[in-house]
Amino acid sequence: MRRVLSVTLLLLVVVVTIGDASRRIKNHRGGKHEKLRPASDCSAADTRYGKCEPELGDCGEGLRDATCNDQTDKIPCKIPCNWKKDIIDCKYKFGPWGTCDAATNTKSRSGSLKRALFNAECQSSVTVSKPCSPKPKKSRG
């Protein structure tokens, strides 16, 4: 009787484990390891990357071309919605925002190049601007 109970319990554990594993595979949506480019003979320096093209609109998830040795792959990329499109592949160190220009109702700041991503051609310094906030900030005190 013990042997039958042990075998039944073991079969129950196996069935539950298989069902759980198949449910995980079915609901799997991919992770960071699936977004990585497959291994190839090319190093990152030899690979030429295209501009990130968003799937919908001006920002969000998209694809970029990665070309090496006459082989082109599409790799996933992302354009943050709060960045300027022309400097997306370049990383800059920005200073503080300047004062609000009353004539244009904008404030600006400049940044110097920290690094270029995906072998992008970047300007050594850029200036970005944004609208001034409609309300002045309250001072604490």
Together in a domain, 89 and 123:
yes
pLDDT of residue 87: 64
By C-alpha distance, which of 107, 120, 111 is closest to 93? 111
pLDDT of residue 37: 45
Cα–Cα distance measured from residue 119 to residue 65, given in angstroms and rounded to the nearest whole number: 12
Asked if 63 contacts 76 with a C-beta cutoff of 8 angstroms, the reply is yes
For the cut 80, the answer to whether the pLDDT of residue 139 exceeds it is: no
Please indicate, yes or no, if residue 16 is contained in any of the structural domains: no
Please indicate, yes or no, if residue 96 is contained in any of the structural domains: yes
More confident residue, 35 or 85: 85
Q: How far from the centroid of its chain's Cα atoms is residue 47's Cα?
A: 19
For the cut 90, the answer to whether the pLDDT of residue 109 exceeds it is: yes
The amino acid occupying position 32 is K
Cα–Cα distance measured from residue 27 to residue 116, given in angstroms and rounded to the nearest whole number: 37
Q: DSSP for the chain, please give it.
A: -HHHHHHHHHHHHHHHHHHHHHHHHHT----HHHHSPPP-S--TTT-EE---EESSTTSEEEEEEEEETTEEEEEEEEE-TTS-GGGTTEEEEE------BTTTTEEEEEEEEEEESTT----SEEEEEEEPPSSPPPPP-
pTM: 0.41
Together in a domain, 76 and 90:
no
Please indicate, yes or no, if residue 8 is contained in any of the structural domains: no
Together in a domain, 70 and 57:
yes
Domain count, the chain: 2
Please indicate, yes or no, if residue 21 is contained in any of the structural domains: no
22 falls in which pLDDT band (50, 70, 90)?
A: low
Together in a domain, 88 and 126:
yes
CATH assignment of the domain containing 67: 2.20.60.10
pLDDT of residue 14: 64
Together in a domain, 88 and 77:
no
Cα–Cα distance measured from residue 5 to residue 7, given in angstroms and rounded to the nearest whole number: 6
Domain coverage including residue 115:
84-133
36-45, 78-87, 111-120, range with the lowest pLDDT: 36-45
pLDDT digits (tens, 9 = 90+) for 27-80: 444 444 444 445 556 777 778 888 888 888 777 888 988 888 888 888 898 877
Together in a domain, 61 and 92:
no
Please indicate, yes or no, if residue 30 is contained in any of the structural domains: no
